[in-house]
Structures are given as C-alpha cells and as structure tokens.
Structure 1
Amino acid sequence: MIGLVELYSFIDYIQLEKNYSNLTIQEYRKDIEHFLHFLDGESVTNLNEVEYVHARLYVTALYEKKLARTSISRKISSIRSFYKFLHREFDIREDAFRSLYHPKKEERLPHFFYEEEMEKLFQGNEGDDPLSLRNMAILELLYATGIRVSELISIELSHIDKSYGVVRVMGKGRKERYVPIGDFALSAVEEYVEKSRPKLMKSTSHSFLFVNNRGAHLTARGVHYILNEMMKKASMHTTIFPHMLRHTFATHLLNNGADLRSVQELLGHSHLTSTQVYTHVTKEHLRKTYMNAHPRA
C-alpha cells in the first residue's frame, strides 16, 4: 500500500505534537488507510499523483456504500489534514481535496431525557450496597456536569475539589477545565468514596475515582453497561447511552434559563456552533409544550 511512511509520520505528528487522544488517532488512521487502499485500487503509485478526479471518485464510492453524511464528512476532514501535513513536510500537492465540498449535514436533534424521566431513573436505583452507591455516583456526576464518558473514567480522586464543589476534567485535545458539581452529585460521590470504593478496591491500588466490581479502573464499555442495567432496574425501556446524559445536562440548563456561552464553557466545546444544536432542542420542547397546553393550538 502506498503512503505508509507518510501515514506513520502523520500519526507521530498528531500524537506527539498535537496531543490528540488515542480514539481520535485511531479514527484518523482508519480514515486515511481506507483512502490509501482506494488509491491502490485506482493504480495510483504516488501520493503526488492524486488529483481532484480521484477525490470525487472516492467520495462517490463512499456514497455508494451508503455511509452517513457525517462519516463521509469526517473522512474528508481526515484526508485534508493528512494532505496539509504532506504539503508542509514532503512538499506534496494538497489541492485535490481543497475544493471538495463537505456533504450537507443531516439535521439530527440530540436525544435527551425529560426531567420526570431522570427523576424516575434516580428513584429506581436507590440502594446502599457498594455497587448501587457507585452507580448512583456515576449517574449523578454525568447528569450534574455533562462531561463525556471518556472524561468521567479519567477522573482521579485528587481531581475532586470538595471545598469549591468542582471537578478537574481533561477534555478533547488534552484541554483542562473545571466543572461545577451540584450538591446531589457531590454527596453521592463522597458517599461512594467513603463507603463503597474501599470495598470494591479489595487488594488493588490506583487513584482513579471509578472502579469495577474487581477494583480495576472502570472502562467506557463498563459505564455503558452500568447505565443500561440502571435503566432496567428503573423499569425504563428507552435506549440509553452515556452521551444522552450530556445532551440532557445541556438541554435542561437551557430550558431553565442558562445562557449559551456558559453552557458552551461547561461542555468544553471549542466552538459555539457545537452548542447551538441544543437551542433547536429547547425550541422543539417549547413548541410541544405550547401544542399541549394552549386551548387553540
């Protein structure tokens, strides 16, 4: 396959100089390798030979595979970044993808829970055994802070500041931020740390806040499993994934009067456009409320 040397150089660059997360690096590698395999099929033997026609053929092939527009857009962005790097480091032409338009994004509103649903989820999972206390702390913290699951599992004991009521979070691109924790979440975390975590730790020793039932560092897959079990325990049949609690956090803040800039900072979004999707959710919420409540709606 052509371009492997250049690909490895690019991976080193985004890992060592850009400090991208392992997940982001894997996505870049997968996207670029897919493109390089396509070039092999087109009998392209040199990255400098790639022209606009190859870029168009590649995107057409992606559409024929019925990939989502968001996936196609991500692949285009990955390859553009790769070619910018090639142009700077190896003097390879980058114009093939420069004039290629991203596909128009599908309008998808984020899924979230209503306040009544969250209350049912909390009430259905009360308990004083070690796993129930841990699970409640996870649920409370995700809902109270809107952090990503990758940020949640990276929290260490020292990252919780009880005196100021904040948690230190390492976000995308290794950007650090402090997020406030509400009283409910802080109490749940404190109770878990005092009564549950020591029992779950057993003979293991590490500083990560959340652990599994063997005392090992909790994984993202583990969090997903825990949340699904909590849904079953609360007799709720809606599908749940950790990001829904992030969506719920943002939506409830905006519904209750928070300004968009504050929500952007709390979520750790680099651009306001990433946060603005939640304004569509709140508008839809208002529309449904009006339709249900107004006598002549």
Structure 2
Amino acid sequence: MSSLFSSTITLGKELKVTDAEFGQLRDFIYAQCGIYVADNRKYLLENRLANRLKQLNLKNFSEYYYYLQYDAGRREELNRLFEVITTNETSFYRNPPQLQVFQEQILTDVLDSLRKSGQKKLRIWSAGCSTGEEPYTLAMIIADVLKGELPTWDVRITANDLSERVLESARRGVYNEYTLRSTPKDVLARHFVKQDSFYAVRPELKKLILYHQINLSDAAQIKRVERSQIVFCRNVIIYFDDEMKKKVIGAFYDNLLPGGYLIIGHSESLHNISRAFKPIHYPGAIIYKKEG
C-alpha cells in the first residue's frame, strides 16, 4: 500500500495539470456525465489520473485530453475516467435509520397499496448503485417483509451506475467482511452463502436485480428505465452542480409513478432544487413523495 501511494504522489509531482488543462478536462467531464469537478479538487484529479497517463505512456494532461477525444481506445478510457472521478465507498445496510423508515413505512405503504389494486408488481430504481450493496440490501429487506409471499410478486430492482467496472462487481455479488461490517448477523446468515473468507448473495435475491450502465446526464437513457414506485439515489447528486441536480431530480420525478417516493442521502436535500416533491419527515430521515 505504501509503495503504491508514494509512487502515485511522485508521479503526481512529475505530472502537474495546468490551469488550462484542468479547465479542458473539467468541461469535458461535465459534458460527458454532468459531474462538476470544483477548483479545490484539482489536485485530486491530478493525482488520480497520474497512473492513467503513465499506463497510456502520455507526457501530459493535454495529450490525455486529446486521447479521450480522438484515440481508438477512447470509449474504454472514458469508463476508466468515470471510475477515477467517482468514489465508491459503500456498505450493506448503510444508514440504518433511513432503511428502517423504508422498511416500516415506505415499503409497507407501497405494498399495501399494490395489494389493494390487485397489481403485485413492485419496481424500484437504485440510481448510482456502485458495487451493488444498496440494491442487494433493498432486495433483502423486501424478502424479509414479504417472506413466503415473495414468489407470488413480480419484483424488479433496476440498478445502475456510471462505471461498468463496479457493475461487473455488483453482478458477481461476492463481498468481504469489511463491506458487510454493518450487516446484522441474522441477515448475513439468511441471505448469504459463505465461500472461504467471502460471502455470496443468494441466487434468489440476485435474480430480483437488473444491472446496467447508465449516464444520468443522458435523458434518452433515463427514459428507458421502467417506471418505479420508489427511487433510491443516495450520495450521488453531491457530484452535480445545481443545473444538473435539477435535471436529474426532474428525471426521477418523471420516472416515479403517482404517489411514488424518492429517497436521497441523509445529508442531501432538495431545498432550492425542486418543489415538485412533498417532503415527509420521519425520525432520522426525510422522504420525498410525488403526489397525485
């Protein structure tokens, strides 16, 4: 770990990004995916891309910018760039108070409503799902709520991310103990199969989730997502500027069925972004509802 860290730092000193290069890359990244890299993150971009330049045998960030636009390998490199600029720190059962509200209030309300209408078809969208911990957590909660009734339901969780590499990891559904550090022991026993020092999500839960890559700045891609009763987008809009936030939240509103719910990160807010949703305050969580 220390040798890798020191080599990255050394390389970072050799490869300084100029203000002009930073501006080019920032505009390019924003145009591609809507993520805005602030001035105070310039050094992070510099350090994180240093290894990419080394591996591609490029002399400076101008050459890298040219590579992203014109090289035959630009599509694959764009995926690498997306991995570099997004962080994927996540875990199972992250933010328990919010998940408790989801399980005891939101999910129960939606399931009851569907039962009454005679349509046992549940659709949830996990936007920005990273390596799969969130959608698998949701699948486990749904299985625990429905219990033996689950096979009689049509349940689909659409899970997507900007990075194809994290989606490949999500599809495998195999995790280490650190990732599972906040997972209740009974959940671990019920929904995972132990494989040496790793844990694999049980197949019956994996089949509830459809993973695919999506760019939240691409309106056409978003429109192809099946309409949902619940949208989860936690700790994603923090990467966007106000214009992009409004665009994405508007897309979630359009995706949600009438009476649907939007759940964002516990430290995030729709204040000054959208008035289309009704905020509902619960202990430890604010949930946004699409009325009508």
Quick check: TM above 0.5?
no
So what's the TM-score if we normalise by structure 1? 0.26
What's the TM-score, normalizing by structure 2? 0.26
More strand by share: 2
Say which one has the larger Rg.
1
